Structure 1
């Protein structure tokens, strides 16, 4: 039984219908698609670690963050289907909230690690080797998790359950937002979105510049790399941009129930967009790999053969890990372009 000792600042009467219509569809979709995709992503990261590739450590941490949030989705699904009425205790509400936020910001942190690792590998292949080791990746991973856990402990020392105008127990919903949330939202926007975005954009612009100048890389391969890099930045903006912009808007303008009611739907749509990151990550960082594609093609052909169906013809592929030039520098640059996938 939930013990309520603190009510919301105001009892805002807000239409929560979006939680009974759109939210369940998104949660179910992400759970069904994201769980197996991230399990495969975790296995791929393990193979990278086994091959002594520090990129695998970042990928595994990114996948673990996604999986932890995916495991909390059944609780959020039950919450929204019960018309935003939290039936568990406050501790579980805080745990689910922590998993939601750690998915956003730990994912952002490891996306930046992957982009920086690729930037150093492609743009500075003979320098900064000490930052591209397994030990360095482990240390950076520990720092990111520690920093985010400490941030969550600071933020979630406040009560996170309250009652609304319909006497429902709401979890992680304050309308209008409380005073202490303003500075937290500004921090999330600047340190959790704006700075990582500039870091991501800088890294990938450097990669694209080197790939464009590389004479040892096929034209179609360059197009493939450019599309992958552009997709990464685009998905980062789509998944995390609207949510963080609305955080700032709420902090600046939301001081009464009237504004809270107007922004409720669009704010929660932006929050749902962050959930799709759990599906986008494994697609971008694993299934874009040529080796993974080849493995799935073999599995597909084996299944077709077993079912007595004709095998499909393999399309021409352009792997991202084949050196194609005789000059030493060009050869090294082409080789490290492997890190794009």
Structure 2
């Protein structure tokens, strides 16, 4: 069997992958939908000059990515690594690359903004000026579109079309750059933020501890969801270039598919990490969906002027 064939060699294992994706979909869809509802109808994110706009787009990217999971799960249950239909396969790849790229991009932009707010609070920067306009979010989505072109031109697993070395290299460059570059940016921002917060002696210690916990958790979640599949992809490429025995290439492909499933956990973890670490958002969420758990002692959701504040605090 060729490594790029659609048929899975270990059908039971792929059924397990499908079960994991179904569980992620069932848990993450209502969670992301409820968060999206709050951003639109309660927080009115478009009126805010804070990270609400970035967080809204992060949740939007996650919820769009979730709609791909039932189709992938269906293929796995049938014992197919990818859809044998060329159009469906390419459409899935387009959605997966675009929305996962958007999720990583908005996470990275949010972390960079957090870095400037904590490490350089008084310094003017381009991002601070741009985030006052929703156009930066539109620009990010548009810039991500060209990155999906290589997936539409070259066979990726079982999307069979004519291939060239140039397109193959572009595709792999897109895959790795979407994860590796943001990872180093997040590492830098996290280290600088943690060091800055540790040196800060004035201010609410509880807020400082929460901010430190937040940036550390962002780093852990990103590493847990995306680094394993990146390493697996690297091993798979080495196996193909060095022409390992077909059995080992197949095992590398199976491991890569499994770790890609793990990366979809990002859709489930994002709302809990990037939104629920805010006491304001937590209070808003509980008061709307779980009022019996809401406590009056929590941080107020709105300011004294009635305007909704940013949830990234």
- Asked if TM exceeds 0.5, the reply is yes
Which of residues 264, 268, 275 is equivalent to 1:279? Answer: 268
Contact 1:58 1:137 in 2 (8 A): no
* Alignment map for 1:208-287 (pairs within 5 Å): 208-254=194-240, 255-256=243-244, 257-287=246-276
Alignment match of 2:78 (pick from 76, 82, 103): 82
CA contact (8 A) 2:68 2:95 kept: yes
Alpha-carbon distance in structure 1 between the residues aligned to 2:129 and 2:39: 15
Of 163, 188, 191, the residue aligned with 2:175 is: 188
1:17 to 12, 15, 24: 12
Q: Secondary structure at the match of 1:156?
A: helix
Give the distance between the partners of 2:290 and 2:4, measured in 1 at CA: 61
**Is it true that 1:52 corresponds to 2:41 in the alignment?**
no
Question: Taking structure 1 as the reference length, what is the TM-score of the superposition?
Answer: 0.75
Change beyond 3 A, Cα 1:85–1:188: closer
Change (3 A) 1:178 1:293: same
Aligned partners of 1:91, 1:137: CA distance in 2, in Å? Answer: 36
Q: CA deviation at 1:234?
A: 0.4
Offset of residue 182 of structure 1: 4.9
What is the aligned partner in structure 1 of residue 25 from structure 2? Answer: 31
Out of 67, 91, 114, the residue aligned to residue 71 of structure 1 is 67
Q: For residues 10 and 222 of structure 1, what CA distance do their matches in structure 2 show?
A: 50
Judge conservation of contact 1:54–1:137 (CA < 8 Å) in 2.
Answer: no
Q: Which residue of 1 aligns with 2:139?
A: 143
Q: 1:246 to 1:160 in 2, by over 3 A?
A: closer
Deviation digits for residues 84-106 of structure 1 (CA, Å, limit 9, x no counterpart): 17677422221112222223222
Aligned match of 1:328: none
Unmatched segments (≥5 aa) in structure 2: 304-309
Pairing 1:42-191 to 2, within 5 Å after superposition: 42-46=36-40, 47=43, 49-84=45-80, 89-133=85-129, 138-159=134-155, 162=158, 181-182=168-169, 184-189=171-176, 191=177
- 1:295 equivalent to 2:290? Answer no
Q: Does 1:197 align with 2:193?
A: no
Distance (Å, rounded) in 2 between the aligned partners of 1:249 and 1:186: 15
Aligned 8 A contact 2:8 2:79 in 1: no
Determine the C-alpha separation between the residues in 1 that align with 2:223 and 2:216.
11
Structure 1: gaps (5+ residues): 1-6, 163-170, 305-311, 323-337
SS in structure 1 at match of 2:110: helix
Contact 1:65–1:107 under 8 Å retained in 2:
yes
Q: How far apart in 2 are the matches of 1:135 and 1:292? A: 20
Distance 1:275 1:313 in 2: 30
Aligned pair count reads 298
CA contact (8 A) 2:31 2:271 kept: yes
TM-score (norm 2): 0.81
Using the alignment, how far apart are the partners of 2:299 and 2:200 within structure 1? 16
Equivalent-residue separation in structure 2 for 1:289 and 1:208 (angstroms): 18
